[in-house]
Structure 1
Amino acid sequence: MDGNLTKGPILNTLTKLAIPIMASYFIGTLYNITDMAWIGQLGSKAVAGVGVGGMFTWLSQGLSSIARMGGQVQVAQCIGRGDREKAHGYAQVAIQLAFYMGLIFALISLIFVHQMVGFFNLTDPEAYSAAVSYTRIACGLIVFSFLTVTLTGLYTAQGDSQTPFWANLIGLATNMILDPILILGPGPFPKLGVIGAAIATVTAQFIVMGIMVLGVMRQKKENVLKGIRLAAVIPGSYLKGICQIGIPSGIQDMTYCFISMILTRMVSGFGAEALATQRVGGQIESISWHTADGFAAALNAFTAQNYGAGKMDRVKKGYRASLLTVGVWGLLVTAIFVFAPNTIARIFFHEPKAIAIAVSYLIIIGLSEAFLCVEITTIGAISGLGKTHLCSIISILFTSMRIPLAIVLGNTSLGLDGIWWALSSTSMIKGIIFTATFFWITRRKKA
């Protein structure tokens, strides 16, 4: 692929771009599932602790999405208009922004780690200790993740999803090798437990980042990432352009995480098994939303380039093709979750109580998977048009509904299942509303 997404067969162009991205996201899922499978050998308390620590790495992704989304959309639109000089300027600022925000988040995490973990009110000392240890390492070195995410977005904006894929594949192999060695300590190796899991993850992130940086240096073809300097002065106009697109997306992601933190605290009241189920269940569920994320990232770059080139008809056709693809995938995931929950739960849990909770979670959440896939894909398309503020308003409004719904339903006979229903029902609503919003926008937007 030459990086130009404004010509050629639409579905073929989207698929070629999306498949490596989806594969990269699946690799990310395998990262997390591999961690959970090995940590599961240490018991549900260790899983719960890592789950809490994972909430803060998730929160950091909201900050990193400012640079990623802002950079990806602006670079793609500039390429669509044929302005490579501005595309390079936006790429430069996106990388600088990711680097400095990563350092700031790491510093805050190291200073306030006990206060951060204390928010979840973990009563079990083992779970609390695991959460603190994991957070210190995973968040203390989060800058590698910030740069990796932003580099991936900038590669995608240029129509190159192959380089991030191979980088993530090598990172996965590293993680899968290090996990059992560092977590369980076979033979002469020390048993590091959750600390080992954090070290394995951070090492893999560093390797992925390094491979993508080397890719820029070794590529002979034109790349907007060439010649980027971290110490350069940040031009205000480029920073403003990235923030206009990226900040709404970042606020949306961080708000979503804060809401999930509140819900996680509510779940913790039902015991460590419930908390572990939420953590593992989220990783299992990522099978569907990482596929949607892949199409969303591809559709975002496709939409931005074609919008920049004034080809709205291709934008609409690309969205319809993506919608059909992810919708079918979501229905398949629903079938697996609803009809084979026990088989899935037993892979990660060994205690009867935890298995029973996980089965219930998978069935209830499974019903909303197609809607979730549609929601994520549509956000990618709308963001490609530069309407990230609209995505934020809709997402924040309806995701916030989860808290009062969880409180009401959780205090009925449904108990913990009431919280799962709050998650599932709001995903259904958002999927419908985002789809209607895209068609409403594109009916009124002229090329």
Structure 2
Amino acid sequence: MKNGKVEEMRDRIINGPIVKTLIVLAYPLIVNQLVQVLYNLTDTFWLGKLGRAELAAPGTAWPLVWFFMAIGMGFATAGFAFVSQYVGARQYEKANKAAGALYSLMMLFAIGVGVFGVISAPYLLDFMNVSGTVYPYALSYTRVIFAGIPFAFTLFAFNFLLRAIGDTKTPVKINIATVLLNLVLDPFFIFGWGPFPQLGVVGAAVATMLSNSLGSLVGGYLLFTGRVGIHLTVEGLKPDWKFYGRIFRVGVPSSVGSSSTALGFVILTRIIFTLGGRFGDADVAFATYSITNRLTNFMFAFSDGISMAMGTMVGQTVGAKLYGRAKAIAEKTMAINFTILGIGTLIFILFRVEIFRFFINDPAIIAESAKVVKYFSASLPFFGIFSAVNNVFQSSGHTKKSMVLGIFRLWGLRLPLSYGLGVLAKDTAGMWLGMGLSNVLGAIVALAWFLTGSWMSRIIEERD
């Protein structure tokens, strides 16, 4: 590990002005999130040219993919907590060792997930009650994405490791390059431009897989050649069962929380198709939800970037036992997130029709979007608070708290409220209202738990 560069950033995180340091760390992450959203928006734009069913296909696939990726992401979160706290405690060699263990664990897990996902995709889509018109497109798309999971996982591991040491710029450069490649390849594979085959929905998945593969290979090259703050070696990838055990202890609650959240969104997809079909048109309801997701992801690009930067700062300050500073960092982040999402929500409300019409000029979808604005949009700033608290719990290594919080918001609030209010109102408006209430109530509970200060202890041991 390049101690000089890492030490310099550590000093800024531990001793520098909070908001200025937060912005320095956050702006590359925000750019990265925006580029990712740009890809999603472009994907939606091109698939919208094919039709309503094609546009909805990725939206049905991603909750499934996310469910399995979330399990691995829990261990990445644990690795992030260990590496950032070791850096905060100036134990750089142990940070390198933790990085190697995480990378090898992610590679092994990803291969298993990829194989399982390709085989089980039809059964999983059946469980989601995907409509017959969307199903064939969703199946093909899902299988290709699962085939590329190993590359996606190792790219995530690279991003987490560098963010843990305070390097938010290098991963962004790679991610921007891969997303731009994806943007270029999308229409060529979807429509068969030039010498490329016309693959339709599958083309979007192929473009994603190829781009992630390239990013993963570049990230691996940088880690193993020591050109970034962390230097991995083949020797360091050998299974370290004792440290794996520590990663599992911290990572399992995060994996359970993340995968439960992802599974919840699989159930939510089923609810949307079910209630949409019962009280209107299932494809209209889900297409509206898909576009809404893309738009909210655009707003969350800013708040998520800031929350991730906050995670680096909280991880290292907790590692240095500066708990009061960690709390101040988190509180400033919540205030910034609430403000940003408030402004974004206002823009969403004012230009709803124009925004939805850009993606697909479907009167039924535009009419459904009016319910989104009326019953759901005002809750978005509250999700910024929830997200920040969740990130505090994860980056400080208190993953059980994060797990309970995530399960409560989705399984305790969103799913029962969305389905119950939808049935009670006999209208999809009740479903949107349930989603909104889950954000508001979840944020209130999260903030109250944060203020107890029960997360203010580190997970690395004095004898490490």
Question: TM-score by structure 1 length?
Answer: 0.94
Residue 67 of structure 1 contacts residue 95 of structure 1 at CA under 8 Å; is this kept in 2? no
- Could you give the per-residue CA deviations for residues 385-408 of structure 1, whole angstroms, max 9, x where no partner exists? 221101211221231122221222
User: Residue 39 of structure 2: which of 31, 46, 53 is its match?
Assistant: 31
- d(CA) in 1 for partners of 2:379, 2:149: 31
User: Residue 167 of structure 2: which of 155, 160, 176 is its match?
Assistant: 160
- Could you give the per-residue CA deviations for residues 138-192 of structure 1, whole angstroms, max 9, x where no partner exists? 0121111111111111000011000011011101110110011111223443321
User: Residue 202 of structure 1: which of 199, 205, 209 is its match?
Assistant: 209
- d(CA) in 1 for partners of 2:210, 2:451: 43
- d(CA) in 2 for partners of 1:91, 1:443: 23
Match of 1:49 in 2: 57
Structure 1 residues 396 and 187, CA gap change in structure 2 (3 angstroms): same
Match of 1:113 in 2: 121
Match of 2:16 in 1: 8
- Could you give the per-residue CA deviations for residues 31-70 of structure 1, whole angstroms, max 9, x where no partner exists? 2111111111111111222221122222133122123201
* Superposition map of 1:315-330 within 5 A: 315-330=326-341
User: Residue 224 of structure 1: which of 230, 239, 247 is its match?
Assistant: 230
* Superposition map of 1:32-431 within 5 A: 32-124=40-132, 126-217=133-224, 219-220=226-227, 223-228=229-234, 232-269=237-274, 270=276, 271-400=282-411, 401-413=413-425, 415-431=427-443
- d(CA) in 2 for partners of 1:423, 1:360: 12
What's the secondary structure of 1:21's corresponding residue?
helix
Structure 1 residues 229 and 421, CA gap change in structure 2 (3 angstroms): farther
Moved more, 107-116 or 155-164: 107-116
> In the TM superposition, what is the alpha-carbon distance from 1:436 to its structure 2 partner?
1.9
> In the TM superposition, what is the alpha-carbon distance from 1:218 to its structure 2 partner?
5.3
- d(CA) in 2 for partners of 1:29, 1:364: 24
Letter in 1 for 2:446: F
- d(CA) in 1 for partners of 2:155, 2:112: 16
Residue 73 of structure 1 contacts residue 384 of structure 1 at CA under 8 Å; is this kept in 2? yes
Residue 405 of structure 1 contacts residue 422 of structure 1 at CA under 8 Å; is this kept in 2? yes
Letter in 2 for 1:395: G
> In the TM superposition, what is the alpha-carbon distance from 1:364 to its structure 2 partner?
2.8
Question: TM-score by structure 2 length?
Answer: 0.91
Residue 288 of structure 1 contacts residue 373 of structure 1 at CA under 8 Å; is this kept in 2? no
Letter in 2 for 1:374: I
Residue 131 of structure 2 contacts residue 273 of structure 2 at CA under 8 Å; is this kept in 1? no
Residue 318 of structure 2 contacts residue 456 of structure 2 at CA under 8 Å; is this kept in 1? no
- d(CA) in 1 for partners of 2:211, 2:117: 20
- d(CA) in 2 for partners of 1:293, 1:226: 28
Letter in 1 for 2:230: V
Moved more, 282-291 or 177-186: 282-291
- d(CA) in 1 for partners of 2:453, 2:417: 30
- d(CA) in 1 for partners of 2:254, 2:177: 29
- d(CA) in 2 for partners of 1:45, 1:154: 38
> In the TM superposition, what is the alpha-carbon distance from 1:255 to its structure 2 partner?
0.8
Moved more, 199-208 or 158-167: 199-208
Letter in 1 for 2:192: G
Residue 64 of structure 2 contacts residue 263 of structure 2 at CA under 8 Å; is this kept in 1? no
- d(CA) in 1 for partners of 2:31, 2:444: 26
Letter in 1 for 2:327: K
Letter in 2 for 1:180: P
> In the TM superposition, what is the alpha-carbon distance from 1:257 to its structure 2 partner?
1.5
> In the TM superposition, what is the alpha-carbon distance from 1:7 to its structure 2 partner?
2.4
- d(CA) in 1 for partners of 2:456, 2:298: 35
- d(CA) in 1 for partners of 2:441, 2:69: 24
- Could you give the per-residue CA deviations for residues 76-104 of structure 1, whole angstroms, max 9, x where no partner exists? 00111111121112111111121111111
Structure 1 residues 414 and 291, CA gap change in structure 2 (3 angstroms): farther
Structure 1 residues 443 and 142, CA gap change in structure 2 (3 angstroms): closer
- d(CA) in 1 for partners of 2:269, 2:148: 24
Letter in 2 for 1:115: Y
- d(CA) in 1 for partners of 2:235, 2:272: 45
- d(CA) in 1 for partners of 2:224, 2:332: 35
- d(CA) in 1 for partners of 2:311, 2:249: 16
- Could you give the per-residue CA deviations for residues 299-356 of structure 1, whole angstroms, max 9, x where no partner exists? 1121111111111222122112212211110101111222221111111122211221
- Could you give the per-residue CA deviations for residues 173-222 of structure 1, whole angstroms, max 9, x where no partner exists? 1011001111122344332111100011111211222232233355556x
Residue 390 of structure 2 contacts residue 405 of structure 2 at CA under 8 Å; is this kept in 1? no
Letter in 2 for 1:172: V
Moved more, 132-141 or 261-270: 261-270
Task: List runs of 5+ in structure 1 lacking aligned partners.
Answer: none
- d(CA) in 2 for partners of 1:414, 1:20: 45
- d(CA) in 1 for partners of 2:455, 2:43: 45
What is the CA RMSD across the aligned residues, in angstroms?
A: 2.0
Residue 311 of structure 2 contacts residue 391 of structure 2 at CA under 8 Å; is this kept in 1? yes
- d(CA) in 2 for partners of 1:226, 1:301: 20
